[in-house]
Amino acid sequence: MTDAGTPLAIALTNCAKTFADGTRALEPLDLAIHAGETVVFLGPSGCGKTTTLRIIAGLEEPDAGGKVLFDGIDVTHLPIEQRNVGMVFQSYALFPNMTVAGNIGYGLKIRKVAETQVKARVSEMLAMMQITMLADRRIDQLSGGQRQRVALARAIAVRPRALLLDEPLTALDAKLRDMLRLEIDSLLRSLGITAIYVTHDQAEAMALGDRIVVMEHGRVAQIGKPREIYQRPATRFVAEFIGTMNRLTGAVKNGVFTCKAGSLAWPEAPANTTEILFRPEDIRVAEGRETTGLLGKVTAAFFLGDRTRLFVDVGEAQPLVIESTARRDFSHGDPVGLAIDPRGLLVL
Amino acid sequence: MRHEVRRLILLLLPAGIFFAAFFLLPMARLFFIGGSGKTGWAAYAAIITDAHYFSSLLSTLGVAAATTAATLVISGISGVFLQRHKFPGNAALVAMLTFPLAFPGVVIGFMVIMLAGRMGLVGQVTQALTGEKLVFAYTIAGLFMGYVYFSIPRTILTVMAAAEKLDPKLEEAARSLGASPWHVLRDVIIPGLKPAFISAGAICFATAVGAFGTAFTLAARINVLPMVIYTEFTLSANIAMAAALSFVLGIVTWLVLAVARTAAGSSVAAAG
Amino acid sequence: MKRRGLFLLQLGFTLLVCAFLVVPVILSMLAGLTVNYFIGVESGLTLRWVMEVWNGYRETIFLSIGLSLACLAVTLVLGVPTAYVLAKRQNALTRTLEEMLVLPVAVPGLATALALIVTYGSLSGFRTSWAFILVGHVLFTLPFMVRSVLAVLSAIDLKTLEEGAASLGAGFWPRFRDIVLPNCRQGILAGSLMVVTLSMGEFNMTWLLHTPFTKTLPVGLADAYASLRLEVGSAYTLVFFLMIMPLLLALQAFAKPRPAKFVAEETE
């Protein structure tokens, strides 16, 4: 389905942004986005992800010295009207004075496409987003999910070379978000378009991104595939921002890590380790008569159907979080033995 | 984006040029002309130093103050009443009370004559009741009545908007503590409406100070500042004095309205 | 009950106030239709005075209508772009500009008119044309147009809508035409009504600015009150009321706010 132009490769070199009131929104950033890939900018509010998106879009200009390249061509000083990127805004920015069909066809009208072709393309978009019955509705007659679909249809109708999405699902409730996330994912895949997606929701990022750029305070903390980011976080911030992270403090001697809860054999332990981090799925409760070096006490247990989420006190500041698939009941105060998979251990 | 700033400036130019040419420049010229007469810059102090001007200033301020007081009481009672009690015909009453909003002072002066002039309704009624015809259209009392007439529509809208925002729970709390309706009015409602009263009152005052049409229609004998300025200009050809007085008048009204705006920030509709 | 008594008292008071405002209007209108005001309605109703007004003063009616329409045109051209700029930028400069625009409303019409006369009075071509009066009217009504349009533009997220249009390739003028103007239609309409109404009724400035050849309706009224029979003055006032009433009613209809709609998600 050739619904988009040839995918775009985007490069940012030395892009920083300081606003008129002095706020430093972005530190100098270098980034290469490959044609056809979906890159997700992830981070808490104020981290610079939206600023970066707007620089790529052409709504902001980077500070002097920064460059934005589309397929190697310098577009830094080109305004958004001439960049041919499709953009979906957090508040959708649908035009209240036009119908749904009018909104979707607007970009084509601006490009002076013939009326019949505009109609055909608008029908195509309406069908693709499954909103054909909404064609003549006004914007204030649409629900949030419907507006989202219209915004997507409008952005794609002009066959943009890249699609930029600024937190498109943030304004929706959880169930709708899950459903639309799937739709957006399949849409991006079928279009084969270069997509840049901004969000603060790490589940969204992990689901949609080919690569994730984790940002904090205007800087890039880590770039990588979802699995890398999750299993090999480069900094403490990334480790704690994505998913849940458990930690144990102690010391290493002769390949054994000793902490309040006991000891753990770990031959590859780096010498000066004072703290180890690991995910809830890399620790399990000892079964039957199994003995392990670590002991703790259950403080809370939540049966979630397919697993039990346990909070176990091991003498640290925070209890450990364990996703247990053991078929047994846990109650407050139960002593449990703990086994950790050393492959999941991290030191930062 | 430099282009954007340049474009915004270009968009402002038409209004800006018009305003500068037809208001700023003339006002500056007025200021200088005010100081160019026989008495020079002392003309600006004449409003206080000259007995005639000073007395007209006092009359003007007096009428404006009386108008404001009366209007606020009337609009306060009627406005709050209409806002709080929904009954059939409420909307019609509101419409009747607000539609004279854009009547020019001239017409209001005429209506004052119809009511209180020599053949006026009031005269006929009082003649029938007491044998003496009450005629006050051509006095400051007639002016006062006219000013109240055009002030009520303006203030009542502001009062009603503010009354809408009053929290009924405050009154319920007062009543639960034993407050009589009068106490509720004095201690809860009036303090709650104070900002609206200040802002509407200032607008009312400023409009009454600068009103011309009504006084003009009721004859030039009435001694308020706008009439004095007019006679200086047309009959005495004393342009400098007229300029100085009107400039001072302009500053006074602008100041009063600036105070009103900081107290409430709503828009102004003036005529009169 | 005490509350009922209080209600009736307030109702009575309000009705009195309404009467105070409405009765003179009715009286004035009636007087214009009676054969002899001093005798009263018993003398019969007639259109004679209205015809006299039409014959003697119809140019004033046309001039007032023409002026208010011209005033509308000028305030649209000057005011809509100004409102747009004020909506896009809120800083000290634009706030000052807004304050300044309101000055001709705050300052007595007398002063503004005098200022215009002392500055441009010597340009006799300008001074004796209706354009001179038009300038005064525009100065007085412009802030109302600007405020009205600005109110509507401030209520929508203008910035994001324009960015949305820009992302689809629309340059400045297409955006202005397709997005900005259609979305401030309500403000333009309300502002237009206000401008026309105020211009029709403007007197303070117009009295000083007019010449015997450029008389507007309110100016004609003042003339008639001073020099003619009460009945003619009343008939003239009646004509004025008939012209301005529809405008005022339309203005009131506009003031009613519309409730915001909430659309729930459909279970798809």
Query: Which ipTM value was assigned to this complex?
Result: 0.85
Q: Please indicate if any CB of chain C lies within 8 Å of the CB of A96.
A: yes
Confidence of residue B266 (pLDDT cuts 50, 70, 90): very low
What does the pLDDT average to over A178-185? 89
Please, which residues have CB within 8 angstroms of residue A85's CB and are 6 or more apart in sequence?
A56, A57, A58, A160, A161, A162, A163, A164, C167
Q: Do A200 and A109 meet the contact criterion of CB atoms below 8 Å apart? A: no
What's the DSSP call for residue A346? B
Q: Are strands A283-285 and A335-340 parallel, antiparallel or unpaired?
A: antiparallel
- What confidence tens digit (pLDDT) does each residue in C57-84 have? 889 999 999 999 999 999 999 999 999 9
Which chains have 3 or more CB–CB distances shorter than 8 Å to chain C? A, B
CB contact under 8 A, B81 and C11: yes
Contact list in A for residue C178 (CB cut-off 8 A) is 95, 97, 106
> Which residue from C17, C100, C142 is facing B152, i.e. has the nearest CB?
C17
- What confidence tens digit (pLDDT) does each residue in B205-252 have? 988 998 888 888 887 567 888 888 888 888 877 888 888 888 888 888
Q: Are strands A67-70 and A38-42 parallel, antiparallel or unpaired?
A: unpaired
- What confidence tens digit (pLDDT) does each residue in C94-150 have? 888 988 898 898 888 889 999 999 899 888 888 889 999 999 999 999 999 999 999
Per DSSP, the three-state class of A226 is: helix
Calculate Rg over the CA atoms of chain B: 23
Per DSSP, the three-state class of A261 is: coil
Q: What's the pLDDT score for residue B138?
A: 80
Q: Which of residues 215-244 of B touch C (CB under 8 A)?
A: 216-217, 226, 229-230, 233, 239, 242-243
What are the phi and psi torsion angles at A160 (to 5°)?
-70, 160
Identity (one letter) of the amino acid at B31? Answer: F
Alpha carbon distances (Å) from C9 to B73, B78, C16, C22: 15, 11, 11, 20
Contact list in B for residue A61 (CB cut-off 8 A) is 1
Rounded CA-CA distance B104/B114 in Å is: 16
Domains of chain C: 59-215+240-255 (1.10.3720.10)
Element (H, E) at C86: helix C48-88
- Least confidently predicted of A78-82, B92-96, B167-171, C38-42: C38-42
Closest CA to C251 of C186, C204, C190, C187: C190
Q: What's the pLDDT score for residue C80?
A: 95
Q: Closest residue of C to A157, CA-based?
A: C168
What does the pLDDT average to over A267-286? 86
b/e sequence C186-209, b meaning 16+ C-beta within 10 Å? ebbebbbbbbbbbbbbbbbbbbbb
Domains of chain B: 35-264 (1.10.3720.10)
Cα angle vertex A251, ends A250, A252, to 5°? 140
Rounded CA-CA distance A257/A267 in Å is: 9
CB contact under 8 A, A85 and C171: no
**Mean pLDDT score of chain A:** 90
Q: How far is CA C69 from the centre of its chain?
A: 11
pTM of the complete model beyond 0.90:
no
* Helices (H), ranges, A21-114: 49-57, 100-110
Q: Closest residue of A to C264, CA-based?
A: A143
- Nearest CA of chain A to the CA of B16: how many Å? 26
Rounded CA-CA distance C240/C60 in Å is: 11
Half-sphere exposure (Cβ direction) of C34: Cα atoms closer than 13 Å = 18
- A22 in the Ramachandran plot: left (φ > 0), alpha (ψ -120 to 50) or beta? left
Cα angle vertex A207, ends A206, A210, to 5°? 70
What are the phi and psi torsion angles at B209 (to 5°)?
-65, -40
